[in-house]
Amino acid sequence: MTNIEFTNYQEYTLTIFSENSIGLLNRITINFTKRKLNIESLTVSESAIKGVFKFTIVVICNQHTVENLIKQIEKQIDVLRAFYLTQDEILHQEIALYKIETASLLDTNEIEGIIRQYNARILEMTREYTVIEKTGHKAETQELFEKLQPYGVMQFVRSGRVAITRLKKELLSNYLKKLEREHNQAV
């Protein structure tokens, strides 16, 4: 790989709409493996359309690779449509949970100050532990982890990206309306 190819790398968020089908996740991820691409983040949930599921996958590569990847993913029988978007075209968040000993929180006011500084919140507090929740971008949730680390983080987990487009309508809705118009014109 030349330096020119590497400088064209950027983060893409793939949005894949599909039916709920056994084995589809495996068939989709094989496309990444074949191209030696690492999946940075993966989230799957129901979409706004009943019976349609939305995969949100983050990958770092060049535009040519992501375009070919989308074409291959769309060849999967259960995939309705797939899109790739750049950082400017989406709004996204992740959620992180941090578990610390409650004694650490009570021993000093510093942890409370950190929680406020990072706009986090206490999700649950018991005698043994306290769970803190933070939503934000990966860098923000990682930074909070690093601030809490000296106080003894017992557990830390971060979700995959959830994202919506900056467009007025969901991409799949637009696509389905286009198909309906084409069908009506053909009839």
Q: Are 99 and 172 in contact (CB under 8 A)?
A: no
Q: Is the pLDDT of residue 160 over 90?
A: yes
For residue range 100-137, what is the model confidence (pLDDT) as tens digits? Answer: 999 999 998 999 999 999 999 999 999 999 999 999 99
Are residues 82 and 171 in contact, defined by beta-carbon separation less than 8 angstroms?
A: no
Q: 95 and 25: one domain?
A: no
Examine the domain organization and report whether 15 and 76 are in the same domain. yes
Same domain for 148 and 75: no
Give the residue with greater pLDDT, 94 vs 21: 94
81 and 96 in a common domain: no
H-assigned helices in 23-137: 24-34, 63-74, 102-107, 110-117
Residue 75 CA to residue 157 CA, distance in Å, equals 34
Give me the helices (H) in 75-131, please.
102-107, 110-117
In the prediction, which pLDDT does 125 show?
Answer: 97
Q: Which domain holds residue 52?
A: 3-85
Regarding whether 95 and 73 lie in a shared domain, the answer is no
Same domain, 9 and 79: yes
Instruction: Give residue 61's pLDDT.
Output: 96
pLDDT band at residue 172 under the 50/70/90 scheme:
low
